[in-house]
């Protein structure tokens, strides 16, 4: 069964060679999904730039203006970890538009996958950890403001805690934040999600999947969301240079199947973003990201 993905050519923006955040992976991921028949060209949707008002539902106007115009103070820009450029600023905004579109498609079709997104370290007035604007948080606010949903569950399985997202929704009962992450990893200062599961360094497939299987069905029953946002970071992989967990390729595939099948079997639509992944081997990195879409096809998203 075919399902929709979201991609834009501007997802790839130039960065210095050997930067830890590999922009080339976004186009390579799209190409691999087409090559392997996971999606067809007709299943690829192109996002538009979000309005400043949409981004302003989460972020401070001075921060938005300063980033988009390249006038942020050095210390604020340095905390992001990415060198500013006009191309990167446009890419940042179009990726937010991609996550908004992905959420809208998921509500219509049951499941949709962005080929970018998951910038969960961005706070209202600053960026951090390669995250500039918090795309999931913005998309949640847009859907809520438009009355398209009343309750959202964020399932954040990136290896790093979704601290920006947790902070943004700490007083908003309409969005339930769940983060399962490596305890001894970035960020040093964790925020309080609605439900956090810190994991020990080196946890393997079986331990990880047992914990997830224990909690995910109960979360769905408790929250009863109109939409699930799934941040499918692959920096949980044993070969990731920023990860500290020990999931294998097969473990990550089983995780993706578990999340998608559990949500869809219970009748909850799922919008996915790719989250983090920092392997030095580009082909391996792209393949690991593709496991989300392979699982989506297998569970008939």
Domains of the chain: 4-13+20-298 (3.40.800.20)
What is the pLDDT, as a whole number, of residue 204? Answer: 97
Across 123-185, where does the E strand assignment appear?
152-156, 175-182
What is the pLDDT, as a whole number, of residue 14? Answer: 79
**Number of CB atoms found within 10 A of residue 52's CB:** 13
Q: What is the mean pLDDT of each run of 10 residues along the chain (301 residues)?
A: 85 77 90 96 97 97 97 94 93 97 97 97 97 98 98 98 98 98 96 98 98 98 98 97 96 98 97 95 96 94 71
d(CA 127, CA 142): 20
What is the pLDDT, as a whole number, of residue 52? Answer: 94
What is the pLDDT, as a whole number, of residue 18? Answer: 62
User: Which single residue is written with the structure tokens 């600053």?
Assistant: 126
Nearest CA to 101 among 127, 133, 138? Answer: 138
What is the pLDDT, as a whole number, of residue 16? Answer: 67
What is the pLDDT, as a whole number, of residue 2? Answer: 58
CB 98 within 8 A of CB 114: yes
CB 39 within 8 A of CB 109: no
d(CA 184, CA 181): 9
What is the pLDDT, as a whole number, of residue 23? Answer: 85
The pTM score is 0.96
Residues 6+ apart with CB under 8 A from 277: 25, 233, 234, 235, 237, 240, 285, 288, 289
User: Which single residue is written with the structure tokens 């990201």?
Assistant: 289
What is the pLDDT, as a whole number, of residue 1? Answer: 45
What is the pLDDT, as a whole number, of residue 13? Answer: 85
């Amino acid at each position: 069964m075919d399902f929709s993905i979201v991609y834009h050519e501007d997802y790839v923006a130039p960065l210095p060679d050997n930067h830890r955040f590999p922009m080339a992976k976004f186009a390579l991921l799209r190409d691999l999904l087409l090559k392997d028949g996971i999606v067809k060209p007709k299943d690829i949707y192109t996002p538009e730039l979000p309005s400043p008002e949409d981004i302003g539902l989460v972020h401070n106007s001075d921060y938005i203006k300063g980033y988009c115009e390249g006038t942020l103070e050095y210390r604020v820009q340095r905390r992001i970890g990415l060198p500013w450029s006009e191309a990167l600023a446009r890419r940042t905004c179009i990726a937010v538009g991609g996550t908004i579109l992905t959420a809208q498609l998921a509500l219509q079709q049951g499941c949709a996958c962005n080929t970018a997104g998951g910038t969960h370290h961005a706070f209202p007035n600053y960026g951090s950890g390669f995250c500039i604007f918090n795309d999931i948080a913005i998309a949640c606010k847009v859907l809520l403001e438009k009355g398209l949903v009343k309750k959202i569950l964020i399932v954040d399985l990136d290896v790093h805690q979704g601290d920006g997202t947790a902070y943004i929704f700490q007083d908003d009962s309409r969005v339930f934040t769940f983060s399962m992450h490596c305890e001894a990893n970035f960020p040093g200062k964790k925020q309080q999600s609605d439900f956090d599961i810190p994991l020990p360094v080196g946890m393997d497939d079986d331990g990880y999947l047992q914990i997830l299987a224990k909690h995910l069905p109960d979360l769905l029953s408790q929250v009863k969301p109109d939409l699930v946002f799934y941040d499918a970071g692959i920096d949980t992989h044993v070969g990731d240079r920023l990860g500290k967990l020990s999931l294998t390729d097969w473990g990550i595939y089983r995780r993706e199947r578990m999340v998608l099948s559990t949500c869809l079997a219970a009748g909850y639509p799922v919008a996915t973003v790719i989250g983090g992944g920092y392997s030095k081997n580009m082909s391996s990195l792209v393949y690991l990201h593709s496991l989300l879409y392979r699982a989506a096809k297998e569970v008939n998203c």
